[in-house]
Amino acid sequence: MKKLSLMMLVASCVFASGSLVAGQSTKEISPYPLGERSILSERAITDRVKPVGSVCVDGEECGTASEEVATGPRSGDEVYGAACAMCHGSGMLNAPRLGVASDWAPRVKKGEATLVKHALEGFNAMPAKGGCGNCSDDEITAAVEHMIESVK
């Protein structure tokens, strides 16, 4: 008897939830007509293959895009924050930490020119320019100077 009551309860819940879904209009389920709901419909395919951008040719009216213009070389602190801090902030892969004199002492003894050369060309686990592909040599030099200044 208990099983029959439980089955009746489950059946009535399924029926009630089905009635709620069936009571919705097709516009509430999808804004597209029935033939355009499939992922294989012409509309869906067109949406997937449409261009994600456009090219603006010089001399044509292309709207108002803001153009980033560099204002000059970044400071050593800015370059450090953007490219060096991940390793030199934590000492990752034995990188000398910013502001920790004991980490920098043996390196500073080699001279600033050697440190700049290593930073530009890469040294041990550090890639060339510390992995900063858009940094100029002057910016890398400024970052090295910034890190050396932190231990003086």
Instruction: For residue 126, give the 3-state DSSP assignment.
Output: strand
90 and 107 in contact (C-beta within 8 Å)? no
The confidence score (pLDDT) of residue 71 equals 73
The conformation of residue 20, written as its DSSP 8-state character, comes to: H
In this predicted structure, the answer to whether residue 20 has a pLDDT above a threshold of 60 is: no
Per-residue burial over 83-112, b = 16 or more CB atoms within 10 Å of its CB, e = otherwise: bbeebbeeeeeebbbbeeeebbeebbeeee
Mean pLDDT (whole number) for 114-124: 94
Burial of 135 (0-12, 13-18, 19+ CB in 10 A): buried
Domain spans of the chain? 76-149
The confidence score (pLDDT) of residue 1 equals 67
In this predicted structure, the answer to whether residue 117 has a pLDDT above a threshold of 90 is: yes
Residue 2 tokens, joined: 């208990």
In this predicted structure, the answer to whether residue 8 has a pLDDT above a threshold of 80 is: no
CATH superfamily of the 76-149 domain: Cytochrome c-like domain (1.10.760.10)
Mean pLDDT (whole number) for 81-91: 92
In this predicted structure, the answer to whether residue 143 has a pLDDT above a threshold of 70 is: yes
In this predicted structure, the answer to whether residue 46 has a pLDDT above a threshold of 70 is: yes
In this predicted structure, the answer to whether residue 11 has a pLDDT above a threshold of 90 is: no
In this predicted structure, the answer to whether residue 50 has a pLDDT above a threshold of 80 is: yes
